[in-house]
Structure 1
Amino acid sequence: MENMEEQNIDSSLEYLSEEAYQKLEEELRDLIKNKRMEISERLGESSSLGDLSENAEYQEAKDAQLMNENRIAELEDLLGRTVILSSEKRNRDKIELGCLVILRKDESGVERKYQIVGSEEADPVENKISNESPLGLCLLGKKKGDVVRVVTPAGEVRYNIMKIQ
């Protein structure tokens, strides 16, 4: 984990807010401390039921163990390559990862607020768009007043950048 000083985006790294990073750390701790113990107990109980080759409970516990260990490895890898986006050092003159941006759609005049986040944190329902998405890629480095054109399956959409926070 490192803090982001400049906006040099490295595709081998993951960019997360402090909040998202903490949630993933919490999930990892839970998987290691609680879930492992729970699965271990299930394995112990089910192995005492007899022939393991025909023991569905044992096989389910082994499958759960494999899934848990895979998720632990995935989270350890992800957290090890994470850059935490700091709002304190953010440049408010241009759009970069972590920024909140208010855009106005040209044809409808509708304004929407988006946050530019790393792909792991993206959530369209919460208007958190990935820096790797077509809109995210178009916005990075732009300034208030700029117009961006985004090609979508429905055609080209133009947005005016109204505000950067």
Structure 2
Amino acid sequence: MSKVSYYTLEGLKKLKDELNQLRDVERPKASEAIAEARDKGDLSENAEYDAAKEAQGLLEMRIAKMEEVASNARVIDESQLDISKALVHSLVKIKNKTNGSEMTYKLVAQSEADIKTGKISVESPIGKGLLGKQVGDTAEISVPNGTMEFEVLEIWRE
């Protein structure tokens, strides 16, 4: 059974653009590399041919995986979401109850996650812990060295 992933329009467009790049540009390049290596002689002792075939196999696996993700992707109509709870595509400001530090994260699908820009996956420990929480709730999140507590300060949408 395939897993449904939720995207913004921008995130889905980025996914499809990357998939098209792989199919339309990278796949033909891989075929050319195999043809060039094949032209160099005996295939049984041709490391360049073996490397090109392996690269093509990895590329095809990546394309197949991305096609599966794209086929199961759903665009979220953010206007229909409950803004009182932390859900996919919510911006959530939290406070670490241990050290008092405050952080803001956007909860996104795993493929859109980018910690540098403050986007965390809803499948990450913090993302899972925040889902469904409301302002004022405490999220207890299990991490390798124990449990961390975060207070939800704000929830909003862009």
TM-score range, shorter chain: 0.7 to 0.9
Superposed CA RMSD in Å reads: 2.0
Amino acid at match of 2:64: A
Runs of 4+, deviation exceeding 4 Å = none
Amino acid at match of 2:135: K
The 5 A counterparts of 1:10-49 are 12-49=3-40
Question: What is the TM-score normalised by the length of structure 1?
Answer: 0.84
Amino acid at match of 1:148: A
Distance 2:124 2:135 in 1: 20
Aligned to 1:55, which of 46, 70, 77? 46
Q: Percent identity?
A: 36
SS in 2 for 1:19: helix
Distance 2:90 2:122 in 1: 11
Distance 1:85 1:67 in 2: 31
Q: Give aligned pairs, total.
A: 156
Partner of 1:111: 102
Partner of 1:141: 132
Identify unmatched segments of 5+ residues in structure 2. Answer: none
Distance 1:56 1:148 in 2: 54
For structure 1, which segment, 87-96 or 70-79, has the greater mean C-alpha deviation from structure 2 after superposition? Answer: 87-96
Identify unmatched segments of 5+ residues in structure 1. Answer: 1-10
